[in-house]
Structure 1
Amino acid sequence: MQITRQADYALRAMYYLAKLEPNQRAATSQIAEEQRIPPSFLAKIISQLSIAGLIHTSRGAHGGVTLARPAEEITILEVVEAIDGPIALNECTYSKDACPFGEDCPIRPLWCEAQDQLVEKLRTTTFGAFVKAAA
């Protein structure tokens, strides 16, 4: 499994916003430049994050992008799933019928356990904690 470039860029954009003061806005051009994200790609990402309720956007001279909730309340998992959908290490982790061995598959429990651990780590890591750890 590899996270998509779009989800990686979304995480970078959210990290940038999480480092701002509460209610401080950032221009998308500023985010794109500082996080090295192609502006046209960032526009699509910003739209998806806004639809997911993770950020607020406003236009105009005093517009920009800001987090919809405090950084301590937004998880890495929320952002990844807003962009890529639910995490699945293998198709059998969300449908045991995808495996020709079905219930008798010796590998499926390993994939399910690894996926559960990854999802739990991303679910319990907030941008607030992420910013503090990187500082």
Structure 2
Amino acid sequence: MTRETDYAIRTVLYLSGRENYFAKAEDISKTMDIPKSFLRKILKQLEKQGLLRIKRGVSGGITLIKKPEEITLYDTIIAVEKNVALNRCVVNKTVCGFSSQCPVHPVWFKLRDRLIKALKEINFSGLISHGTVL
């Protein structure tokens, strides 16, 4: 998982714990220790994926479009990474000349399927209820 994905998860987690799922970018940046330049990029990706809305201006801020129980870790990871894979050959077989005879190659696919299933079962409402609301 990239740092960018970690920051995206922190962002959605923070918003999930806020009243009306709303916050200012500065508050997210400070509280979740996300550099502002990274946060802007992540917010755009999450907005493009339909997870949040960005309102600019003095009365602006960031709001989740969906409720925390409707947003999974999978949704957030896909917003940034575009796919889930444990190895690059799972995303593109042509990057490895051994894919056709590699005994580990099918294992990566099975593990990826299990990981995706698990990520789709974990929503932010559950994460908030099991941890401290920031």
Tell me the TM-score normalised to structure 1 length: 0.88
Equivalent in the alignment of 2:107: 110
Q: Cα distance 1:89–1:24, how it changes in 2: closer, same or farther (>3 A)?
A: closer
Taking the TM superposition and a 5 Å limit, the aligned residue runs for 1:39-118 are 39-96=36-93, 98-118=95-115
CA distance in 2, matches of 1:92, 1:61: 47
Could you say which residue in structure 1 is the equivalent of 2:31?
34
Q: Say whether residues 1:10 and 2:8 are aligned partners.
A: yes
- 1:114 and 1:24 map into 2 onto residues whose CA distance is 33
Q: Runs of 4+ in structure 1 displaced over 3 angstroms?
A: 94-104
Aligned partner of residue 34 in structure 2, secondary structure: coil
Q: What is the aligned-residue RMSD (CA, Å)? A: 1.7
**Deviation of residue 37 (structure 1)?**
0.6
Q: Which runs of 5+ in 2 are unaligned?
A: none
For the structure 1 residues 111 and 19, does the alpha-carbon distance in structure 2 shift closer, same or farther, using more than 3 Å as the test?
Answer: same
Say whether residues 1:120 and 2:91 are aligned partners.
no
57-66 vs 92-101, which deviates more? 92-101
SS at match of 1:60: coil
1:10-43 deviations in whole A, cap 9, x for unaligned?
110110000112x342100010000011111111
Tell me if the contact between 1:13 and 1:31 (Cα under 8 Å) persists in the aligned partners: yes
Q: Which shifted more, 98-107 or 73-82? A: 98-107
- Classify the secondary structure of the residue corresponding to 2:54: strand
Q: Which amino acid aligns with 1:75?
A: T
State the alpha-carbon separation in 2 of the partners of residues 102 and 27 from structure 1: 46
Of 103-112 and 70-79, more deviation after overlay is shown by 103-112
State the alpha-carbon separation in 1 of the partners of residues 83 and 120 from structure 2: 12
Q: TM-score, normalization: structure 2? A: 0.88
Shift, 1:70, TM fit: 0.4
